[in-house]
Amino acid sequence: MFKNIASDVLGLSDIGAIISPKDFHKVESDDYILYEDGEKIYFLIKSKSDEYCFTNYALIHLDGASATSKKRLLKRYSYKNNPITDVTLETAGTVDLDIEIKFNIGNVPYSIDVIKQDIEGLKDLYKALVKISSIQVENQHYLQYAEKSLNLASQSLKPYTHNSSPEEQFKAINLYSFNWLKKTRQQFMKKDFSEIFDLFINK
């Protein structure tokens, strides 16, 4: 117990290590993966008090108050609804014990310390997060362009008189617009980033 308290005071309990894929089933995060929906763990950092689990769908954070507490707060941030921004990697100096990766997911800032021996693995995570961030920014631009395009198209339509009533015409246009927007959002609000993690993590 006194060792755990000392670790908290020195800040050592916050330094994590990268967990090997063969040990993913041993961590607590594994209990919260949506395997039934195709979710998969790609990268996991574990410290004495926290787990940072990167899946193809989300960041799952098991937040421990301290190394002396067994309580955990489960936080889940899907990439679809929480864009990743401001990814940085801070390497270790001569006397440093750790390296650090920082990023925002949605409006939540993260700063994760990792033992400096795991620098190569953390570089791979850095590249994956940077690529995901780039795709999310590009897709957001495409989504905005698509919505503007639909608005311009709808404004340019003139009322037409055929056999159908104005009400039927309105329903037809509204249904088409809804389906078109739904399809566009599914295309550009990406849920699954498996191919990015496979490219940079599972090399």
Q: What is the pTM of this model?
A: 0.76
CATH number for the domain running over 1-203 = 2.30.29.50
> Residue 3: is its pLDDT beyond 50?
no
Q: How many CB atoms lie within 10 A of CB 153?
A: 12
Give dist(CA 87, CA 122) in Å, integer: 12
User: H-helix or E-strand containing 151?
Assistant: helix 119-156
pLDDT in tens, 25-57: 999 999 999 999 999 999 999 999 899 999 999
> Residue 87: is its pLDDT beyond 90?
yes
Six token digits for residue 81: 């609804």
The 3-state DSSP composition of the chain as helix, strand, coil percent (nearest 5) reads 50, 25, 25
- The arrangement of strands across the sheet holding 98-105 comes to 72-78, 58-64, 50-55, 41-46, 15-18, 108-115, 98-105, 84-90
pLDDT in tens, 126-167: 999 999 999 999 888 777 766 666 665 666 555 555 566 666
| Contact yes or no for 62/50 (Cβ under 8 A) | yes
CA 123 to chain centre: 17
